[in-house]
């Protein structure tokens, strides 16, 4: 079951506000569950932090 447009907009705004990165709407809506979305967000945060520490 994928996310519907309204919750996706709310989650996208929350992710952008809290974690300071933007996630494409279509990508969010194609993710099958909140567990997978959480993993995706965690991986993106890890990638950003790792890149910042390397520079």
pLDDT digit string (tens) for 1-18? 567 888 888 999 999 999
Range of the domain at 21: 5-54
- The number of folded domains in the chain is 1
pLDDT at 4: 80
pTM value is: 0.76
pLDDT at 33: 87
The CA distance from 23 to 30, in Å, is 12
pLDDT at 10: 92
pLDDT at 40: 93
| Residue 20: its H or E element | none
The tens digit of pLDDT for each residue in 25-45 reads: 888 888 888 899 999 999 999
Selection from 16, 35, 34, 12 nearest residue 25 by Cα:
12
pLDDT at 6: 85
- Copy the structure tokens of residue 3: 């996310």
């Amino acid at each position: 079951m994928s996310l519907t447009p309204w919750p996706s907009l709310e989650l996208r705004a929350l992710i952008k506000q809290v974690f300071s990165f933007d996630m494409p709407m279509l990508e969010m809506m194609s993710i099958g569950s909140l567990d997978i979305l959480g993993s995706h967000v965690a991986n993106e945060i890890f990638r950003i932090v790792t890149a910042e520490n390397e520079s």
